[in-house]
Amino acid sequence: MVSPEAKKLAEERAARMQAALDLKEPDRVPFTGLGGDVIPAYAGITSYEYEFDFEKNRQAAVKWFTDFPSDSAPRVGLGGLDNQSMGVAFQDYPEIVSGVNSVNGPMNDVLKMKFVRFPGRELDENSARQFIGGKNMEPEEYDQLIADPVKFCFEVIMPRISGGLKDLGSPASLATMARFGLEKARQDAEMAKTMQALMELGYYFAPRGVCLAPLDLISDQLRDIPNLILDLRRYPDKVKAAAEALVEPMVKMGTMSIKAGAKECFIPLHLNEYLSPKQYNEFYWPTLKEVILKLVEAGMKVQVFFEGWHDAHLETILELPAGWGTAYFEKTDVRKAKKLLQGHTCIMGGIDVSDIISLTPAQLDENIKKLFDEMAPGGGFIFSPNIGTCPRETPIENVRAVYEAVEKYGKY
Amino acid sequence: MLMQKELLKSFVDMDEAEAVRIARELVETEGGAVAVLDTCKEAMEEVGRLFEAGEYFLSELIAAGDMFNQIMEFTLPKLQGGEVASIGTMVLGTVLGDVHNIGKDIFKVMAEASGINVIDIGIDVPHEKFVEAIKEHKPEIVGMSCLITLGVDSMKRTIEVIEEAGLRDDIKIIIGGGRVSQAVMEHVGADAWADDAARGVRLSKELLG
Ligand code: B12
């Protein structure tokens, strides 16, 4: 049962985040909270248990989010690894997409993806899961990708990346899909329990869409980054055409969850930091911008995670309509971003996870005080670690210092 | 001389086809292999400078690294022993739990181009493997690459294990990659840090004295 108090708390938290998204000043600086491998470590369980056992995962999450309360619906459940090319392959079947788009441990036992490794399987029980990537497509295949990205991802790429589906139409692949369905049903039921447990603690859950910048889909999942970088010089026209061909599939992936109530779509960027402004504006931004504009047109807010240094491309954000969504920064200084984007874009980020590991509680306290002094006025700011995951060894006294500082200095 | 100039220019301008063509021609001339090697090193250094100045980006570093490797593939076999002077040896790896290699590989090519003999021991490298490599290759410097926060603790432990093996005083340790900073350097007990390859090469040379 979700108590009236928990319900009220959830509403307050949601309103706080929403105010920031609407570029206003909430009652307090909204805080996404910390997470990652430190959660199982804090609960005294292995990363393997946390990534494979829903019951233990749930208990660990409840302990963490009770002791360290934050404002956003936390990323709970088993952690997954990005598998969007397979999402594209099944884009006309949303119920399948939500299971293949990001592959978690037990699901990988079924699909046997080539580019992932999990704790307690290929890795030590306390390792973090790994996406190891790799090249799954040759340059001669750009034409096929351009002609029909969905067909290409299904017929050519999927058999290369999924051990369970390497022989399309074989008994083994049909059995894989049947097992996938059973596992998906089990996971959906388990996730409902986890969400219920967190709602009882006063958290809210809003589904959200996820998609990639078209060029990132090619570099992350198909060609790999160094090859794509060389392709930009060797086959510029093909790369451009391929990115254009992927705009529609990416919009479809992003808007798919609107039916389930999603109001926001998340897009993590990877290649941005690698490219010169000239390359960014020629190969990357036009198709990314088109995807964002179409998501906004469909009524969504968009949260873009500008990974790495985004300084060289910062001004292009102003080409989007004011209120389009949130710019989440990793290395780019949020203060610098605020100077440019205040009143136009909600800004998210502010603390480097390396600092949470390496500094003292007193230093963290001071840094956060200074940060809020500069970032809070005017609103439109969400406080968040610069990357999603704190490792197992993160000192708990430092975690505590971060939450206490948010409590102390976050009031408007 | 003219060919060397042209090679330098096309390399720095990222004209891959032209740079490789000139290098192939130059390498066949008298003393050509040494000329190609020296010119490519100079070009890599210039690319690094442009990167530090914010004119070039990672994309150029990757393309330059690829060009350098392509050219070295046909140039190195033509060099006589003793023609490749090394200013020191570095054991380089991405630390345990971390599989990112792009940054490490960029740094490696640039360090090699600057005359450092780099022994690359790969990614996700166990602590003991660093120790074994130090014993085997007796480097002056050990380089660790770290792109994920989990790697911070890996570096700390690796350095502890190196210490326990009694090898810490024989080497300097430089850390690099997206997750390193002054604070991280102090936390793990390294001697220098760099989150860009050009600076990393400069600091490595300083560490070599
Ligand atoms: C490309 C990438 C990948 C690729 C890696 C491909 C490859 N073969 O390397 C793939 C897709 C495989 C990948 C996988 C994962 N990644 Co990743 N990845 C990135 C990304 C986008 C870029 C990293 C990169 O290559 N940068 C460019 C290079 C050139 O920069 P660099 O390494 O800093 O190197 C420069 C300098 O630092 C220096 N340098 C590098 N090494 C050294 C060494 C020495 C000695 C010196 C002196 C200098 C030096 O020279 C280089 C040139 O200037 C970053 C985000 C970002 N933009 O940083 C995330 C990022 C690093 N990844 C992240 C994560 C979480 C992962 C995964 C765990 C994802 C997952 N859930 O599976 C996995 C696997 C991880 C693991 N266990 O290692 C997180 C790390 C978060 C954290 N906890 O710290 C990041 C920060 C993304 C994010 N914002 O969340 N990733």
Q: Among A72-81, A85-94, A363-372, A384-393, where is mean pLDDT lowest?
A: A72-81
* Alpha carbons A103 and B29: distance in angstroms, whole number: 55
pLDDT tens for residues A109-133?
999 999 999 999 989 898 888 888 8
Return the pLDDT at A74.
66
Is residue A265 within 8 A of residue A292, CB to CB? The reply is no
The average pLDDT across B21-50 equals 94
Flag whether A136 is in a domain.
yes
Return the pLDDT at A389.
86
pLDDT tens for residues A60-115?
999 999 999 999 866 789 989 999 999 999 999 999 998 999 999 999 999 999 99
Is the minimum CB–CB distance between A114 and chain B shorter than 8 Å?
no
Side chain identity, residue A344: H
User: Can you tell me which atom of ligand 1 is nearest the CA of A354?
Assistant: 84
Q: Which domain holds residue A47?
A: 42-58+78-202
The average pLDDT across B102-126 equals 93
Return the pLDDT at B82.
67
Flag whether A287 is in a domain.
no
Does A33 have pLDDT greater than 80?
yes
Does B30 have pLDDT greater than 80?
yes
Flag whether A161 is in a domain.
yes
Quote the Cα angle for A382-A303-A341, to 5°: 65
Does B209 have pLDDT greater than 90?
no
Does A174 have pLDDT greater than 80?
yes
Q: Give the residue, B107 or A1, on which the prediction is more confident.
A: B107
* Alpha carbons B190 and B196: distance in angstroms, whole number: 16
* Percent of chain B scoring above 90 in pLDDT: 86
The response to whether residue A131 sits with its C-beta less than 6 Å from ligand 1 reads yes
Q: Rg of the Cα trace of chain A?
A: 21
pTM of the model: 0.92
pLDDT tens for residues B127-183?
999 999 999 999 999 999 999 988 999 999 999 999 999 999 999 999 999 889 999
Is residue B98 within 8 A of residue B151, CB to CB? The reply is yes
Q: Compute the nearest-CA separation of B30 from chain A (Å).
A: 32
The domains of chain B, with CATH numbers, are: 2-78 (1.10.1240.10), 88-207 (3.40.50.280)
Distances (CA, A) of B155 to B144, B161, B191, B193: 7, 10, 12, 12
Does B15 have pLDDT greater than 90?
yes
pLDDT tens for residues A394-412?
999 999 999 999 999 999 8
Chain B residue with CA closest to A115: the answer is B99
Is residue A125 within 8 A of residue A56, CB to CB? The reply is no
Flag whether A334 is in a domain.
no
Ligand 1 centre distance from Cα of residue B187 (Å):
20
Is the minimum CB–CB distance between A128 and chain B shorter than 8 Å?
yes
pLDDT tens for residues B72-82?
999 988 887 66
**Which of B51, B68, B96, B100 for a ligand 1 pocket mutation test, highest count of atoms within 8 Å of Cβ?**
B100
Flag whether A338 is in a domain.
no
Average pLDDT, chain A: 95
* Percent of chain A scoring above 70 in pLDDT: 100
Adjacent-strand bridge partners of A80: A104
Interface confidence, given as ipTM, is: 0.88
Q: Is A78 helix (H, G, I), strand (E, B) or coil?
A: coil
Return the pLDDT at A207.
87
Does B1 have pLDDT greater than 80?
no
The average pLDDT across A214-228 equals 96
Domain count for chain A, please give it: 1
Q: Compute the nearest-CA separation of A340 from chain B (Å).
A: 20
